[in-house]
Structure 1
Amino acid sequence: MTIAVVWQEDGYQWCAADTRLVAGNADRPATEIAAKIYSIPVAVSAMGTGFPRRPHYWTQYGFVFAGAALPAAMTAITASTLLQKLTRPGDQTNPPVFEEIAEFIRRLSQRFMAERRQFRSDGMFSAAFFGWCPHQQKYKLAHIDGRDDSGGFRVELTYPTPPQLDGDPWLVLGSGNRTFQSTLVQYRNTEEHITKRVPRRVIDKMVYEESDRTVGGATSIGMAHQNGFDLYFTAEPIIRGQPAARRIFNGLDLDTEIGQIGQYHVAINGLA
């Protein structure tokens, strides 16, 4: 189920996904407001006299999935909780390398997939873990993939090579991959004047046209940069062709459905 894409463009690492979840053999929509992109914070501290000090390093990575939503969400939530509490005895030192964190997330993924499969469910998902590596000073991406194609369940961890061209997909996840690839070719042929964030625009098109029954709802967007990872709202027109727009985050209207929280409002960045 779903479509999710990671690509690199203009010095950033982007991610986009739809928000529809489907269920059953008929791929019936179960929700149109699912979160498939998560921010994974990492905080590192050194152990003082029996108590952790304040973190001396903090960042965020991106995580996006396609497939079984429950084990994928549990992986992201548990990783977010535990990776904020990394500490070690002694003085301050460097954070874990990207590959060490990716292997930890693979282990969590395997545990939650295996748990789900005990209850007569396929329970498998594929995910991308990605972001800026402070050790090698470049963007990295890990592909975590639940497999059962040889009669034995396993979760593989690979590191796909980035494409040579800026803006080309680095990794595509989900059952909507074939439709995405054909729509991408068509979009580039008919919309030659649009060259920025094309993978996101292709997902917008798939969602709007419902060209794949497993893809729908809205488009979620995230961006990794050298200081972490941020999620964005999308500006969607209230009436197509008119300038008035709604701020949509994972299918939720930030103004009419979320609104203010006390005297505060949600002030995340957005993209048109």
Structure 2
Amino acid sequence: MREQNLRAGILLMIAVSFIFAVQDALSRHLASEYNTIMVVMIRYWFFAAFVTAIAARAGGGLRSVVRTARPGLQILRAVLLVSEVCVMVLAFVLLGLVQAHAVFAAFPLIVTVLSGPILGEKAGWRRWAAVMVGFAGILVILRPGTGVFTPAALIPLLSATLFALYSLLTRYAARYDPPETSFFWTGVVGAVLLTPAGLFLWQPMAREDWGWMLGLCVASSLSHYLLIRAYDVAEASAIQPFAYFQLVFSVAIGVLLLGEPLHPLTALGTAIVVSAGLFTFLRARQKAVALEGSDDTG
């Protein structure tokens, strides 16, 4: 039964990764035509309605889900995620899916760097060596000091940093609130934060683009629903490495459908970053399993 659940969790995570890649391509298309804040705001409206519907069906109803022990922490998480989404969509417009995702792949390494000061977690020399190798891969992708480097290439690195902070604070919030509470606050607070600026920057949207916008909203909600299901049937630590399929799918969409170039050094740097990220993740998981084993025997 456990093996079947793991297989289902892996398949769900791969499906989520594909939908995320499609979602990114739709965001890139719409933000190329309209204001980024407006596009993200409409997506968040749909997302907020989705998380509210999920919360209303939870045990104890909406009131129990809304209740949080750390409202300031939940608001900060939402601000970080809203900022990350807007920055990353801007990166898609300026750099394309391939280059943006190649740099964003560094976020697990940034999590390792920041997990000490934020969560008090300690990383051994192997993980720190992997972090150094991973950031060397980032330098291969960015190629500073050459004619191909542009300051815009740092935008997805900022997005990766914001997402790493959001991920760490989500783990911290789990000490005080259940996952459904964090999920609700992420969607609703994000929509509230974006609405004033999004309405101020509103642009009339062509009829055909409303179809793409609906597709983006549906993809966003479906991906989050499947992600919840994936974590429900399998341990997050076991299926998280398969989230890297999003990079594979995004590169495929960028190259095959959008005509984006894939430079050999970008591919090499991405392989280095992903390998380092997987190593740090697996080392962290091994350490967690070892600690659980010592607790059980103790």
Q: TM-score, normalised by structure 1?
A: 0.31
Name the one with the larger strand percent.
1
Compare relative contact order (CA 8 Å, sep 6+) and give the higher one, 1 or 2.
Answer: 2
TM-score by length of 2: 0.29
Structure (1/2) with the larger helix percentage: 2
